[in-house]
Amino acid sequence: MPNPSIYQKQAEFNEQTAKAAQAGFPDWAVTMCFYAALHWVNDYAFRQGDIGNFENDGDVDSPHKRRRMYVKKIAKQNKWNDLEESYELLYRVSMTARYLEGLEKQNCTAREHYAKNGVQFCFEYLETIKKRLI
């Protein structure tokens, strides 16, 4: 079996961190699930020879946007609708966790929000991503 890529190692580390953070720091668990997903996408792209797609080459699109477009492309090519849906959801909830998007009207922090609503769904979406890309 070939050595794991640095992207695979980082994805695994991020998932371990998410699991450790789940009980006391659910906002960070959400964030780390997203970053685990991001690195699984990077690992897949690396193995496909596509990792250069995400490098900042002066293009106006951010690496996040290019990565999301890549996920959309491979999901469509492989008929993996659940891949695109799972990645997009993790992206959106991480924006809530990191930047409080959508929480202003609720007047609560991301930690309070995810403590109340749970984070298990993030791990389920991460599993879908792993199932498709590993």
d(CA 44, CA 105): 38
Mean pLDDT of 109-126: 98
Residue 58's pLDDT is 66
pLDDT value at 2 more than 70: no
d(CA 4, CA 112): 36
Q: Is residue 92 part of a domain?
A: yes
Per the structure, the complete domain to which residue 28 belongs is given by: 6-53+61-133
Mean pLDDT of 13-35: 98
d(CA 53, CA 49): 9
Q: Is residue 37 part of a domain?
A: yes
User: To the nearest whole number, what is the mean pLDDT of the chain?
Assistant: 94
- Give the pLDDT confidence of 59-116 residue by residue, as tens digits: 678 889 999 999 999 999 999 999 999 999 999 999 999 999 999 999 999 999 999 9
d(CA 18, CA 37): 11
Give the CATH number of the domain where residue 104 resides.
1.20.120
Whether 42 and 59 have beta carbons less than 8 Å apart is answered as no
Burial 41-61 (b: 16+ CB within 10 A, else e): bbbbbbeeeebebbeeeeeee
pLDDT value at 133 more than 80: yes
Q: Is residue 41 part of a domain?
A: yes
CA 65 remoteness from chain centre? 13
d(CA 45, CA 55): 12
